[in-house]
Structure formats: structure tokens, C-alpha cells
Amino acid sequence: MNEQDGPFIRRPGGSGPTPGNPRGPERRRVVPGQPYDPPRAWSQSPDDRGGKPAPPPAGRYAPRQEPEPFRPDRGPVPPPPGRDRRSPDPGGFRRPPPPPPRRPADQPGPPSRRPRRRRRIPIVRSLLVLLLVIVVGVAGLTFYYDSKLNRVDALSSYPGRVRDTPGTNWLLVGSDSRADLSAEQKRQLATGDSDGKRTDTIMLIHIPSSGKAMIISIPRDLYVTIPGQGPDKINAAFNGGPKLLVQTIETFTKVHIDHYAEIGFGGFDTLVDAVGGVNICLDQPLRDPKAGLRLRAGCQDLNGQQALGLVRTRAFPNADLERVVNQRKFLSALMSKASGASTVLNPFRLFPFVSGTVSSITVDNGDHIWNLALLAWALRSSPLTTTTPNGGSENTDSGDALAVDDDTTTFFDYIAKDVTVPAQLLQNTGGAIS
């Protein structure tokens, strides 16, 4: 019996098994007396298929075979299962996402995130690195400039030296050395051509344990005993070098010298120019061709050349005694300018001043640049200034000199004990600087 006459009808699709149907094609039995029921798609309704629908084969999709009429009032057809819902529909529209479910009023929401705090560790670390760089840089420059200082053996020990006394004592010497000046500089500064060096200024700076510092001028004509040489003017001791001068002053005053500094003509004008000049008020006009000085009365800024002429001139009735007053007042004004904000915070003034200091000042072997910085700081604000009390002029084997009397001895006793000096022993009159 052939396939058309038999009781079975073969379903189209071949006679062998398929991947979705391993048992082969489905055959349906023809019941006599009933109309022929052709095979239908799995997507058709169960009523149309005469029984319960069977699930489609695994891995296969069987769409409905019956077309549906187009209805313009309906929205876009949803995509079949398994397709990307974000892909646009045939009409070019995209279905909007469904709204989030509403939360009941009594149900608390999710905990809110706390705002993140900015990390401060990198900022603090950067500041620490910057601070370290500054500290290392300052320390490096300090030791560099300290190594450039000129040094001399001035404070070495000797038999019978005065023991350490309270407070801090500096011996500041201004010499008239012209060794480092060129012919042009000698002409500009009106220094002359004298050879060698002599003490043009001798100052004892006493920094007490408490209270204001004191600048004490020691007149170079003060008649004292020089160890190993006998009585003479005190500036004669400098001919034997700084060490002999220190020994002479310590023996005469009974005050222990802790630090020593010396500066010449060329270094002085360099320091003044480095800080941009110093403002000085004069009570009278000054004219001194020997010192190259020509200044008007009143307040004015002095450059290095004018300042050097001012501290050198002795064109006064009392000559050297009035000159030392000008020297003390100008030194105080210079230290105030050097330690002020206009110099310390201005690198174009600070570095030239420091460079000029290390190149023009000679200190003891045990002194350092930080000792000079502490000296400038101590003199920054109106120190007490005075001239060493003396017994007046007297004739000596060295010519006219200033005698030492009881007031001189009493005055230095107060300094050695680091106590306040009575006002009647202070002498600060004269000079041209107000």
C-alpha cells in the first residue's frame, strides 16, 4: 500500500529523524468517518488543533501562521522573546522604560550615601615636602655662607685671661684698611693712600641676659696699659693684631669678650648699598672734603659712599668724641634696616647683604654666620648707646690722650656683672645725627 492509500499520512519534512524530533516525522492516524484534519503549527490555538498544546521543540521558535490585520489604533508590537528590547520597532519608535515602583509612605528608603571627604593626606604631605625643601635649602645656604667668612685667631686663651662674664659681649672693630680697594674706589671713597691698617672704630656691644643691648664706644685715644708694651693709646694695640687688642680690652675692662668682628672701608659701603641705603636725620649740614662728605641738614637716605664719609668725619668741635656718637647711631640704624622686613623678605636685598657681609667681615675662628645674625637681631630695635666715661684730656708720652678715671672703672664693673648701668654714667650727647 502506498503512502496515499494507507491509514497513515506522512508529514512533510522528510522521512528521517530531525534535530528537533529524533523520532522522525510525526504521523497522524486517519479515523474513518471523520473529516481529514490537516497538520497545524504549534502556535495555533489548542481548540483548532483538537487537543492540548504540546510545547514547541527545545531550541526552536514557532511563530503563529495566521496573519493579523493591521490596526493603527494599537501601539507598536512588542518584540518577541529573546530579542533586545532596546532595539527600535519597525515604526522607528522606542518603548519608554517602565516607571519605578512606588514605595509606600511608611517604608523607609535606602540609606543615603555620606558625602566623601576630600583626602587631606596628599595636601599635608605636599606641605611637609615643601617645608623640608625650604629647611634643607636654608641650612645649605647657611653653611655655604658660613664657609665663606674670613676668619682670624682673635679670642685664643692667654695666661691670666678674664673668666666668662654674664651676658654676651662682642668686640666690633672698624679698620681703615685699604688693601681691598682699587685706585678708583680709593678716589670715590676719598680714603687716601695710607698703607697698613689702624683702628678707626672700637665698639664693645653688650647683650644682657635681659633688657636692651648696649653699644659702647671706646675712644681710640683712651690711654691704657697694653700687655707687653706699657701705657699707650688703645688703638696702638691693634698694631699687634686682633689678639693683642682683645687682650688689652679684657685686661682693662675685666669684661670677657665672646665674639670678634672686623670690617674695613670697602666692606662698610657695600653693606649699606646692599640694603638700599639707610635713612638718617642730621641736625646740621656737614662738609668735609677729607672724608668726601657733603650732606644737607634734615632726613635723607645715604648710600654707601655718603655713609662711610659720615662715620669717618671728625669735622666737629670735639672731633673723635662726636664722631663715635655718629658711628653708634648709624650702626644701630643699619642693623635695624638689615633685620627689617624690607630686607629679610626681599631676596634682591637679603642675598647681596649676606654676600657683602661674608666677603667684607672678618670674625674669630670660633664665630659663625648665625652669631652675626643674632647680633643683628639684638640691635634691631633702639639699643642703648654710650661713650666710655673718661677723665678728660691729658698729656702723655703718646701725645694728647683721654685719661681713665674712677667712672671708667665703675662703668665696666656694671657691664661685667650684667647689671643696669646708672644713667649718670651714660654719655650720648653730641654728633650730627638726631
Instruction: Please write the tens of the pLDDT for every residue from 135-171.
Output: 888 888 888 999 999 999 999 899 999 999 999 999 9
Residue 396 buriedness (CB in 10 A; 0-12 / 13-18 / 19+): middle
pLDDT in tens, 42-77: 555 555 545 555 555 555 555 656 666 666 565 565
Would you give per-residue pLDDT tens digits along the chain (434 residues)?
A: 444 444 444 444 445 555 555 555 555 555 666 666 666 665 555 555 455 555 555 555 556 566 666 665 655 656 555 555 555 555 555 667 777 777 666 666 666 666 666 556 688 888 888 888 888 888 888 889 999 999 999 998 999 999 999 999 999 998 765 555 556 655 555 555 555 566 778 999 999 998 899 999 999 899 999 999 999 999 999 988 999 999 999 999 999 999 999 987 667 888 899 899 999 999 989 998 888 888 999 999 999 889 988 888 888 877 788 888 888 999 889 988 988 888 888 988 988 888 888 888 999 999 999 999 999 999 988 899 999 999 999 999 888 999 999 999 999 999 999 999 999 999 887 788 88
Q: Which amino acid is at 268?
A: F
Cα dihedral 323/155/194/230 (nearest 10): 80
Distance between CA atoms of residues 377 and 217, nearest Å: 19
Distance between CA atoms of residues 312 and 290, nearest Å: 9
- Extract the C-alpha cell encoding 352: 647681596
The neighbouring-strand residues paired with 217 are 203, 387
Three-state secondary structure call for residue 278: strand
